[in-house]
Chain A
Amino acid sequence: MRMIGPFPAMGRRAVDMGYSWAGMHHDWQQSDMTGLLVTAHMMTPYAPAMPHADVHIDSLLTWAVMQSLPAPVFFPSHSAAVMPCPLRLLWVDGAGHPLWASTPLLPAGDAIAAKEYWHKRYPSDRAELSNKRAANTSAGRWKEARVPMGVVTTSKLTGLCIGVEFEVHRLLSTITHIGKKTGTGYGRVAKWDVTPVGGLELSQVLSGHPVPVDSPIAENVTGYYKPSTGWTPPYWYAPWHSSCIVPSAQ
């Protein structure tokens, strides 16, 4: 089995309870995996992160793995780490970063792309508490802002993956919000459905996911060449970006 890494530091309590990243990775990769259709039933619009606008199933699962441990996880500052995931491991690059068998979640059925705004204001009505009462609210640090944000309203998001059905459902069920600005209610998921899909081909999964050109799998992917993009969680972490074949649909 191919090993992945680097893993973050695990809290002592979790270690004492017998958790280990390598153990989780081993157990999941030895489990029966099946093709799965993942459905998120949405209650509020979600705000995709830009510029990598997709909400990836493998990102959600690795986040849920981290949250599900009985003690906090410690990341090195200014860096990222790899987490195990109950998905089929397709390839590992030279640095240990994994390519998981999953697609992004995309709207199923009707969807509205809209723009909403959030506002930031200097607390001028509490300025007397400050040692300086003057504040320029039209420029500089205290400038008030009206910030546009793209949101998508849809009743359902769906995606495909190949993984351990029970674990995928268990982990996704811990996720209540997806996308950006969850603190203000965006991306509220009412429930997750994870249903087996008979005869799901790997090519169907890859048709929705960037694949590094260094991977032999890339030969089987139809799409366009992108010099640098995210392909493994965390997708936003630019130092791990590489040249990929990106499916044409994206």
Chain B
Amino acid sequence: MNNRCTVVLEAVEPVAHGDTLSGIDNSTNVRLFMRSAILYNGQGVRVPDLSENALRSVLFRRTLHDQLLRALEIGQGQLSQATLNLLYSGGSMASGAQAPTNEIELGHRVKDLYPSLDLLGGSVNDFILPRSRLRVTCWPLVREYASLISLLYPEYVAESEKVSIYDLLSEEVRTRGTGDESSGNQMLYQYEVLAAGARFLVELTFDEWTPEATRSAATCALQSWDGFFGGQNRQGRGRMVLRDNEGLPDANIYTEFVTGHAEAMKAGLLDGSLGTGRMLCV
């Protein structure tokens, strides 16, 4: 069984950093990409990077669960907050959580019925589900990462050597009018972007025991993804396309699984039992 496959994400619009929600940014500052520490020519440097945590959320978690709820005909006001949070954000345990003695068994039953949760993991009211099956790793195809990329994917080294991440990095400045009385009251805001054309090698590694339906869910997610990543999507930033995505698992296995288990999956989401007979997300 091949436990690994890769895709390339290519930006067809500049990609911007996305965090405007959590209040951690000072909105008057330039919004910066996250920086990852790497050793480059023996020197430690921090270079702009895409967050694999965000890739998991945007490419897989959100996409799969939007699709799942559509397929199960679940709409507004039907899920508990805990279930909603589990599906879209990985869940949070409740205060005073006490895991039942059979938490491992319950966790595996949840993962058996919901391949998307098997793929991505999460936590319910009282415990954390057994480990997720998917590991996502991403490298910008740039000079700074070329020596690392050569260890596993030498076919991408020549491309990576052509450009530095700093050649791709720039800032965009936007203006926002705060009134209509004069031209002097515009608010400037700035954010970093990586240039259109930037490419990112994304590696998907599956756990040794990953069932076919779970592997298939990963492909299904990529095929259903709306193509936007990062911030400023409303003005087109972050539009990306998938390249070099041959060798992905067959997406039909997952869609057939959902069709075949629709009734149980829907009931488990609506009552918060997730198919276990015990109320896990209420």
Contact = CB atoms under 8 A, between A and B. Distances in A.
Chain A interface category by residue count: 35 or more
A112 interface: yes
B67 interface: no
Contacts of B77: 128-131
B205 A153 contact: no
Interface of A: 41, 43-45, 67, 72, 75, 77-78, 110, 112, 114, 116-124, 126-132, 135, 138, 140-142, 144, 146, 151, 153-155, 174, 176-177, 182-185, 188, 190-191
A240 B120 CA distance: 31
A176 B75 contact: no
User: What 10 A-B pairs are tightest by C-beta distance, nearest first?
Assistant: A123-B88, A185-B137, A190-B151, A184-B52, A185-B52, A112-B44, A114-B37, A153-B37, A130-B84, A184-B53
Q: How many interface residues does chain B have, given as a range?
A: 35 or more
B46 interface: yes
25 contacts: A43-B151, A44-B36, A44-B137, A75-B104, A77-B104, A78-B101, A112-B37, A117-B34, A121-B22, A130-B77, A130-B79, A130-B80, A130-B83, A135-B81, A138-B23, A144-B23, A146-B22, A176-B205, A182-B135, A183-B121, A184-B135, A185-B136, A185-B138, A190-B151, A190-B152
Contacts of A127: 84
A73 to B, nearest CB: 10
B256 interface: no
Nearest to A113: B37
Contacts, number: 140
Contact of A110 (B42, B69, B78, B152): B42
B276 interface: no
B164 interface: no
B209 A72 contact: yes
A179 to B, nearest CB: 12
A114 to B, nearest CB: 4
Nearest to A132: B81
A129 B39 contact: no
B158 interface: no
B228 to A, nearest CB: 13
